[in-house]
Structure 1
């Protein structure tokens, strides 16, 4: 908590923005690791629920003008409405999780991505079409919680949009991680694991398998919606092209690399997958053969995808429990040696 609050006083805007994006993505990764790692339900529609949260906030917070839809609600109320909308949409599609499992539900959820892309492009009044729409700042009583107004200076450091994004997204991630940890350590979390390991044994223990699966699907949708809201605020302008199948695959890479079912693994994987393309974009010129020029054979985005793919293969072959488990093992060995 101290590091989270003090870092904006010493870190420049690039790292603060990178951290804000990583914090926002981590919330969505926690939702996916609960669904896939604990409930055992593979979903490839995570980008769809991220888009529901992002465009839900955009619709509820934006005023209605000619050619654009909006309700003009107070931004904080719009955040709550967007998260509730994500929960409702997740609950509406939860019957998929009752009837299908494994790779079957993974393939079935692809339809949600195609439906979402069609809706966004078919209704430019909502999405702004190919050019996208600007996202209203998160304000409370005229104070921009994520924004630049009014100007604030703390200890001689201007506390602008990057600093506020870092703090708000970081605190939201911290609260989400604590809440998710309590859920997974409690009765609901044990029911998730029981259903994942054996539906027959779970039913014999009196667990409602269908209800448990639906619960996991809805929790994942809610966290994805909250993540989508923060990502929209971080981007400031969102376009339909971003919320594609590739984004869902990136979130799948986050939870596999970090460690399925691990909250810390989801946060670490999200930070890595989010930061690597941006770091390669900024410092890639120092790497031989890596260039961001148009037509370059190995642009940073391609190199990042190759690294993600290689890491997924290595992690699955070495330890399917991911990097989080490897770090836990190293820490245990270090403690044993220190004794």
Structure 2
């Protein structure tokens, strides 16, 4: 049972970053808000993949397929041609549609593991890309489709509709979508942590360690594998909806194998099996190419977009960088950024305990004869030889 005071301290520690994130739209311009939106959408999808690959130990290369199902599902359900459903209803149904697609594939995920599951999910990406290009009436073909803005209770998360000004700051599409992204990311964060700390998370962790030991303890291997795949698909569908709203137009080429590889890079860099690590890795992998594109003219060896053949563009340079980051992580810190942060925090706490409370200097050293755990203490040696 956890200490109520430690729980209260952890919750209080979340308050400053939450307030900071809520205040950023009042100070940042549209470029930085878009980076934040893309990072939050990527974090939602990375958390889902982390549950599947990091916790359950199932390799998946088909995450881009389920992102596409969520994005295009929302566009078709809420747009014309299509049923023209209310956008909020269409968003929920798009997430459920992605979960249904994961459920249809879950019998395979329940019986196949490792590289074999990776190859099987790889087929989903190629199949999905082909469907996106050929099903013109639903997807718009190669040129894609515009994304209908999300409306909840008459409030539009877009530039359309009545103007909104908060504390003298005009709130356009980026500012409104920022708070939607925060809400969806918070929902993802708390539901994923609840799963990991509950019985499903313990079962998936046991399954990842040893299938034989997990089955002996009563874990239904195929059922939990399938459930992890469905949950991961639903998180990917939610990320796809948020990505579609952020981009405002979806095209098939975005949901390619490269996107699935990017998501694998996110969870490896951030730390497998960690919600916070997956979120940090998503921010790193998503923001890096956007920042390098903006500041390409100020970076050495990086050419501005459209500079011609033979030049290293910002996208290629960013892939080289986080590819190198993956190698360094695997060699030096297999638990990723989350593990590095955890160890740094532990060292800081040990240093604080060693120096004692502020203003008291170093911690007092016990006098001889007062520390029974010290092997050099005479009292301790006498105690060892006492019959």
TM-score class normalised by the smaller sequence: over 0.9
Q: 1:223-242 residue pairs with structure 2 within 5 A?
A: 223-242=235-254
Cα distance in 2 between the residues matched to 1:148 and 1:180: 34
Structure 1 position 300 matched with structure 2 position 317: no
- 1:53-106 per-position Cα deviation (integer Å, ceiling 9, x unaligned): 000001100022xxxxx1100000000110110111100001111221111101
Contact 2:305 2:314 in 1 (8 A): no
Length, aligned pairs only:
334
Structure 1 position 325 matched with structure 2 position 339: yes
Structure 1 position 254 matched with structure 2 position 257: no
Contact 1:4 1:167 in 2 (8 A): no
- Give TM-score scaled by structure 1 length: 0.96
* 2:383 alignment counterpart: none
Contact 1:137 1:147 in 2 (8 A): no
Shift of 1:140: 2.1
Shift of 1:334: 1.1
Runs of 5+ in structure 2 lacking a partner? 1-17, 354-387
Cα distance in 1 between the residues matched to 2:297 and 2:86: 44
Highest RCO, 1 vs 2 (Cα 8 Å, sep ≥ 6): 1
Shift of 1:147: 4.2
- 1:189-214 per-position Cα deviation (integer Å, ceiling 9, x unaligned): 00001111111111111111110000
Q: 1:86-125 residue pairs with structure 2 within 5 A?
A: 86-125=98-137
Cα distance in 1 between the residues matched to 2:159 and 2:237: 21
- Give TM-score scaled by structure 2 length: 0.85
- 1:264-286 per-position Cα deviation (integer Å, ceiling 9, x unaligned): 00000000100000000111211
Contact 1:33 1:255 in 2 (8 A): yes
Shift of 1:291: 1.4
Contact 1:264 1:324 in 2 (8 A): yes
Runs of 5+ in structure 1 lacking a partner? 65-69
Cα distance in 1 between the residues matched to 2:302 and 2:333: 30
Contact 1:135 1:236 in 2 (8 A): yes
* 2:384 alignment counterpart: none
Cα distance in 2 between the residues matched to 1:293 and 1:18: 18
* 2:38 alignment counterpart: 21
